[in-house]
Structure 1
Amino acid sequence: MDKPAEATTVAHTEAAGGHEAEPNAFGLTPPWFIAAAMIVVIAILVWKKVPSAIGKALDKKIAAIRDQLDEAAALRKEAEALKREYEAKAASADAEAAAMVERAKSEAKAIVAKAEHDAKALVERRKAMAESKIAAEERAAIDELRATAAKAATAAAAKLIAERNDAKTDQALVDQAIGQLTR
């Protein structure tokens, strides 16, 4: 009698290549759990509207800086108009009288030089003021961010200390502190 060929199934504990099989739970491997955790963290950040809050804060800072830059540009235009006005006065002084040409030229040159100097000084002062305001805003934003980070770190540290200390550990710390005080 011929025996039918039986298919035999053999379970292997090793994966191809001679390595042990990667551990899994419910058929899911560790990389899947890491990906799921990242998705949960991102979902919580989006749910708490963290990106929009950061965006709004940055938009406010950008708007303030733009306003300051617009103000500086307006002041520069004003200074240029003042310069043109003084140059126009100098040009009209030339045409007043032939007898006063030399005197008018020297006065016009002095007025133009003063106007240019004043305009440059005004623009530089306004530019310096705008830059210092921008720098102050940046410092304030950084200080605010640092304070927020410090508060979060303090809260996390307090939570960790509360979770890791029990009554026995607290009693040992109190006894040790009392011992150091009595020395």
Structure 2
Amino acid sequence: MRNTLALILTAGVASPALAASGPFVSLGNTDFVVTLGFLVFIGVLFYFKVPGMIGGALDNRAQGIQSELDEARALRDEAQALLASYERKQKEVQDQAAAIVAAAKEDASLAAEQAKADLEVSIARRLAAAQDQIASAEASAVKEVRDQAITIAVSAANEVIAKQMTAAQGNKLIDAAIAEVDAKLH
């Protein structure tokens, strides 16, 4: 900063002096008056330490900018850490969702297998019940056929016996049946 100020002073003093004509150190020479005013102005600036204040203000501004940059970096780092955390959480949630879907598929598969087994048991029970009903109906039909065959046979035997039997033979059979019943009851 001081090198720049020295360069400005040298350029300011040398230029008007070289351009002026006649004696330079004279209040009638405007170049001298301007140079003198400029030097007084620069002297006042240095007396009140304006370059130091400007330098200090620039340094303070630079420190403020540096602190804002540091804060921005810290915020960026924090945002990146937060983003990484959210990405981890999202991955965990996706993994949990995949596990839930897999468990649901497995449960559905097990439920389907159980329903299939229950259906097979139910079909077997109904088939057994149907077979029992068929067997019962068959036995009932066989009994009914036997009963009818017996009824027809008794009726046919009754007709044959009635045609071939005489009254004396019938009385003899009745007396034998009574005697047999009497023997079984006593």
Q: TM-score, normalised by structure 1?
A: 0.39
More helix by share: 2
Larger relative contact order (Cα-Cα within 8 Å, sequence gap ≥ 6): 1
Of structures 1 and 2, the larger Rg is shown by 2
